[in-house]
Structure formats: C-alpha cells, structure tokens
Structure 1
Amino acid sequence: MLAYDRLIALEGAHNVRDLGGYPTADGSLTRWRSILRGDALHRLSPADIEALLEHGLTTVIDLRNAHELAMEANPFSGHGRVRYHNTPLFSALAPVEMAAGASADFDMGDRYCQAIDACQPAIAEVLATIADAPDGIVLFHCSAGKDRTGVISALLLANAGVDDTTIVEDYALTATISGPLIDKLRERALNRGTPAVLADIVLASEPRSMRRTLDHIRDSYGSVEGYFDLLGIDSRMAERLRNRLS
C-alpha cells in the first residue's frame, strides 16, 4: 500500500492538502489523490505546477471573487491540460471584516453558517463541478484555504461518511501547518487598517467554528442529505461525489 503525505509540498502555496485517508462510517478510508483543498495558487513555481500535474491534476476550482482574481491571477486559467472553473463562493455575504466588526462575539462559525444559508447557488455549482469533473485530481481553493475551502471540504467529507470530529480536525489543520501563510495574510490585513484583534478572529481556525457549522446544517436542514436536496444535488450526484472519495 502506498503511503501518502496529506500536505502537498509546494514552493508557492502553503496549504494544499489531500482529503484522502480519513475513516468513513462503512469502515473504509477516503481515497488519496482524488480531491485536494488549497490556498491561493498565484505564486506557484513552474516546478510546483509540474508536480501537481504529475500527481494527476485535471481540474481546478477557484472560489475567489473577481477582485481577488484581478490582483492575483490563477496560473491554471487557460492551461492546456487542466480544466479551470471560477465560482465565487461568498459573494452573497458582506465583507468578513465588516461582519466581524459588527458583533462582539463573532467567530468564523457565523460566517460559515451564513454561507450555508445564503450562498446555496454557488455551493451547488461547486459540488456539481466536482461531481462532473473528469478522471484525475480535483483541486478547489480560495485565498487561505480555510473558509470557503473549509465549507466545501466539510460538505464533501460529511457526504462521504466522515464523522464530525474528523471533519473538524481537518478544518483546524490550517492553524498548525500554515503559519507562514497566516502571518502574511495578517500582515496584509494590518496594512490595510484592520485592527489586530479583528484580524486574529478572521484568520483563526478554531475547531468550534466548524462544529457550529455542522450543527447548523443538522439543525436547519436535518442532515447533509437534506441540505443537498435543497441545493438540487440529487442522490445520483451525491453518489458521484462519494465515489470521488471512495
């Protein structure tokens, strides 16, 4: 049996990691080198890009908005060997720093619960793109690989039968493996005038934030299956998503 590293070592990205190797309810493990989650890719070196292609990358889904794309272009846009898709995921929400500044007890779980409720067309589009992707690795990413990417990862893992504790642990990995990335994003936030306390809240990967999101899905929609039904993700598409991780 091959041994895989969860974190994909790249020069130009800090948080590209595999959703494989997690235990599921039927006693199996999610499949390695099928779905990757990640942070922004604009600093990838030619060697990084070649390494991802050698791993089997065939599809990239960019969850960032038009402003982010204009500032930091995706190297896979127009790439001859990779299908590139852009689906801005949180565009229906107020800017995160505005939302965080408006509430004394805000944490990123608020943001994720709002996204589950208000960003359903975009979430459905991302899931459908993954379900319909050609053979090979699908990589979806945002800027930090934490928030937008974290919501999609949680839905995929829950649909595959991964338990809440493992989903929360996967989410929280950003805090332990992406120190240089978080430091850069914090410095950028401070340079544009964001108070340090607010920047720390927004850049946190607290386990309670993802636990709250999973609880919200169950409390508001009954289950991930119920949420998928509302999104228009039928049983056949949900099965295709499971198959990508099985």
Structure 2
Amino acid sequence: MKTERQVVLEGAYNFRDIGGYRTIDGKKVKKGLLYRSDELCYCTQKDVHTLEQLGLKSIIDYRGDREWKEKEDVHIENVTIYHLDPKADTAAMASAGLADLKEQGYGELTADAARKLMVEQNRQFVLTESSKCVYGKMFELILDQKNLPLVQHCRGGKDRTGYGVALILLLLGVDQDTVLQDYMDTNVCKYEKNQKSLQAVSEMPNREDFVQALRYLKEASEEFLLTALDEIKKRYGTVSEYAMQELGMTKEKQKTLKDMFLEEG
C-alpha cells in the first residue's frame, strides 16, 4: 500500500514528500523540498540512487544516540546528517521491535498503559525544553536554502517526525484536518510492516491485550497528535504564537517560511 506522495524505497517504508498540500488561503506547499521518513539505515544502493536523484542535501535524524549508533543512516554523497534528539523515550520505545520491547521491560505492557504513554509523549513534545530546542533547530535548518531538499526522520517516522512535520504544515497554513491525514498516512505506508510484527504476537495464546498495546505503539492515532495540538492551543492559543515564544520563529521567520515553501495554487 502507498500514498500519492510516497517515494517507494526498498529499505524504508514511510518516505514521502510533504509538498502538494493546499493552504487555507489557497496557496500550495512546494514539492521536492521537504520530506519525511522512517529510519534510513536499511536503504539499498538502489535507494541511495533514488535519494540522490531527489537532490537530497540534509537529513534530520531524531533518533537518540543508542538508536542511531546501532543503525546509522546509509551514506549518501554530499548529504549532511543532523542528529537532533528531543529525548522522547516513549516514541523511541514505540518503534522498537518485539525483542527490544522485552529487553526494555515492556513485554507485558497493557493496552491502557500503552495508550496513556503515547498520549503523554505527545504532550511532552510541546512542554519539554529538549523538545523545544530540537524543533527550534529544525526550523533553523529548513530556513537555510543550502540545506534543501531535506528529509526528517526518526525510527518509525510516526511520532517525533510526525510532530515536526505537523508544526511545519500548520505554520504554512495547511488546515488541521489535512495535517492529521498526513500523520495518519503512516498507517498506509507501514501497513504491511506493522501487520507482520502484530501477526507474530497475535498467534500467541491470551495475548489480545498486548496486541492492542502494540497497535497503540506502532500505529498512528489522531488522538496522539491532537493531544499535542490541543496542548499548544490551551497554553499559547495558536501554533504561530507557540512557535514565536518557544521555537524562535519570529513573525519575520514565519513569513520567510511561507515565502520559501509556498507557491500559487
């Protein structure tokens, strides 16, 4: 399964262009400049060629040290990798394999606990200083023309990446429903991969609750991203105000963002 914006790769499932969306005021996000993905450590040489053809210049890797040092992104000529870790432990755990989950002590995680963990993780994206520092730096990078085209990714391309992409699209003027759909498209791109990981557990006896826990960890849910967006609205009123107060995105920088990434629709 794929979406219209997906770039099909052999070693990554969730690589897609975030351009093409229309804004509330009738403009359109430019294609070919900003991408999102899951981890790029399994990319084949064919994939590398595909990414080179995109003219990729920069990678933002939201994975923590342990994640990326064990599985470094594939080398792409003339591409700079920026490691920006928002210290999102739950998001990192959510993308882990079954063996990793057991090793970290989550082998008996309940569905209710998993859902609460994911909800709280998305709230923390808004609140923690480490997260605000990371997403402020993300905007610095994309506002520098020499870094484009750029892809941002984490392990699964869902939570840490999803929050960053949501901030960009909302500041560009894309409506919230469309932003949520972009977030939910992870479930389309990673359907087969997620089903394989769930199938192994579902065949075990008396593991229905743990299967549901895995679904909360592996699959995008509107509730999760909405938790972050609602927290922003509650504390700051708008994403624009949040970006100004916490991410260093002045009104001038927000105008530059629109000038760089929007075109007439």
Fold equivalence (TM over 0.5):
yes
Change (3 A) 1:223 1:185: farther
Choose the corresponding residue for 2:125, options 100, 106, 115: 115
Deviation at 1:103? 4.1
1:80, distance to aligned residue in structure 2 (A): 3.8
Select the residue among 180, 202, 206 that pairs with 2:192. Answer: 180
Q: Deviations over 1:118-151 (max 9, x none)?
A: 1211121122122225163110001111000000
> Do residues 205 (structure 1) and 205 (structure 2) align?
no
Which residue of the partner structure matches residue 152 of structure 2? Answer: 140
Change (3 A) 1:135 1:186: same
The CA deviation at 1:160 is 0.3
Give the equivalent residue in structure 1 for 2:36. Answer: 37
Q: Distance in 2 between matches of 1:105 and 1:199?
A: 10
> Is contact 2:91–2:118 with CA below 8 Å preserved after alignment?
no
Q: Percent identity?
A: 25
What is the rounded CA distance, in whole Å, between the counterparts of 1:141 and 1:184 in structure 2?
22
Provide, for residues 196-244 of structure 1, a one-character-per-residue CA deviation record: whole Å limited to 9, x for no partner. Answer: 3322211121123223322221111111111111222222332333334
Aligned with residue 159 of structure 1, among 171, 178, 201: 171
8 Å Cα contact 2:34/2:151 also seen in 1: yes
Larger radius of gyration: 2
1: CA distance, partners of 2:220 / 2:89: 22
Distance 1:105 1:70, change over 3 A: closer
Pair 95,46 (structure 1): closer, same or farther in 2 beyond 3 Å: closer
Consecutive unaligned residues in structure 2, runs of 5 or more: 95-104, 203-208
TM-score w.r.t. structure 2 length? 0.80
When normalised by structure 1's length, the TM-score is 0.85
One of 109, 126, 129 as aligned partner of 2:141? 129
User: Compared with structure 1, are the counterparts of its residues 30 and 95 closer, same or farther at alpha carbon in structure 2 (3 Å cutoff)?
Assistant: closer
Contact 1:25 1:162 (C-alpha < 8 Å) held by counterparts: yes
SS of the equivalent of 1:33 reads coil
Kindly indicate whether residue 80 of structure 2 is the aligned counterpart of residue 83 of structure 1.
Answer: yes
CA distance 1:89–1:182, shift in 2 (3 Å): farther
Letter in 2 for 1:175: N
AA aligned to 2:245 is: L
Does the aligned pair in 2 maintain the 1:90–1:115 contact within 8 Å? no
- The question of 1:224 aligning with 2:239 is answered yes
Equivalent residue letter for 2:39: A
* CA–CA separation in structure 2 for the residues paired with 1:18 and 1:201: 25
Deviations 1:144-193 (A, max 9, x none): 11000000010000000000100010000011221133246658999xxx
Q: Which amino acid in the other structure matches residue 112 of structure 1?
A: N
> Contact between 2:57 and 2:150, CA under 8 Å: does it hold in 1?
yes
The RMSD of aligned alpha carbons is: 2.9
> Equivalent residue for 1:235?
251
Q: Residue 75 of structure 1: CA displacement? A: 1.5
> What code does the residue aligned with 1:67 have?
R
Kept in 1: contact 2:62–2:153 (CA 8 A): yes
**Using the alignment, how far apart are the partners of 1:91 and 1:105 within structure 2?**
15
Give structure 1 stretches of 5+ with no counterpart.
Answer: none
Offset of residue 94 of structure 1: 8.9
For 1:38 and 1:23, the matched residues in 2 are separated by 21
Q: Which residue of 1 aligns with 2:13?
A: 14
1:38 is displaced (CA, Å) by: 0.4
The answer to whether the Cα contact below 8 Å between 2:59 and 2:81 also exists between their aligned partners in 1 is yes
Opposite residue 209 of structure 1, the aligned amino acid is F
